[in-house]
Amino acid sequence: MFVASRTRPDILYAVTFLSQFNNRHSRKHVSSLLQTLQYVVNTQDYCIDLSFCKDEKLCLFSDASWATDLDECKSFGGYIIYLGGTVIGWGCKKQTTVATSSMESEYIALTYAVKEAYWISNLFESCLLFDYVNVPTIHSDSISSIQFATNDLENSKTKHIRIKYWFLRDWFEKGYFKLNKVPGQVNIADIFTKFLSSEKISELCKTVFNRLSRK
């Protein structure tokens, strides 16, 4: 977990998912773990070089699956943070609330991303690392969750969403962050929502790591 959360965002979903089965694993889980380890060996030279940061522009990508945990029907969500075009942070977790729609799971994932963006903006400001840090932009491929976060939209499908997630709309109105819709195929945070094909992983890694070499 340390390696996945500190240096290898491309394996964080696999590690997060498989860690659920530490005490009740099957052969399938062991096989998936061995495949992940072999992948790490083959890509051990993948590197994030922070010296590649071009400016102080802060942006995040957010994404979520929906009910992909078959035991509890819970969703996985994640985010990845860029500063000046270079990755500086990421996160992935299984949501604690059962989402009743894909919009809801995407909205919950947005709250995680926004909290992280707010924290890191305050960190930069308090440490005087930069003269100016832009208002972070959160990129999501869910137009419905963006609309729900930016408009007073409420109906029978959304009124049950818990109060602890409603701060998102309040913070948006205060200008703490911006939201932007991106196509699903270019949403880098997709890497934290499910197991992807090797081709898709390789494609996304080109935008995650700025130094790549594979054995």
Q: Report the predicted TM-score, pTM, of the whole model to 2 decimal places.
A: 0.91
At the fourth CATH level, the homologous superfamily of domain 48-209 is: Ribonuclease H-like superfamily/Ribonuclease H (3.30.420.10)
In the chain, domain spans: 48-209
pLDDT tens-place string over residues 136-191: 999 999 999 999 888 866 655 556 566 667 789 899 999 999 999 999 999 999 99
Instruction: Choose among 27, 5, 26: nearest CA to 15.
Output: 5
Amino acid occupying residue 150: T
pLDDT tens-place string over residues 59-98: 999 999 999 888 899 999 999 999 999 999 999 999 998 9
State the residue for tokens 């659920």: 20
Question: Considering Cα of 137, then 143, then 149, then 151, what sign does the dihedral take?
Answer: positive
Tokens matching residue 213: 């070499």
For residues 202 and 102, give the distance between their C-alpha atoms in angstroms, rounded to a whole number: 26
DSSP character at residue 189: G
Contact 117, 138 (CB under 8 A): yes
For residues 48 and 87, give the distance between their C-alpha atoms in angstroms, rounded to a whole number: 7
Question: Which residues, in sequence order, are bridge partners of residue 139?
Answer: 61, 180
Contact 87, 111 (CB under 8 A): no
3-state secondary structure of 124: helix
For residues 187 and 173, give the distance between their C-alpha atoms in angstroms, rounded to a whole number: 24
Percent of the chain beyond pLDDT 90?
A: 69
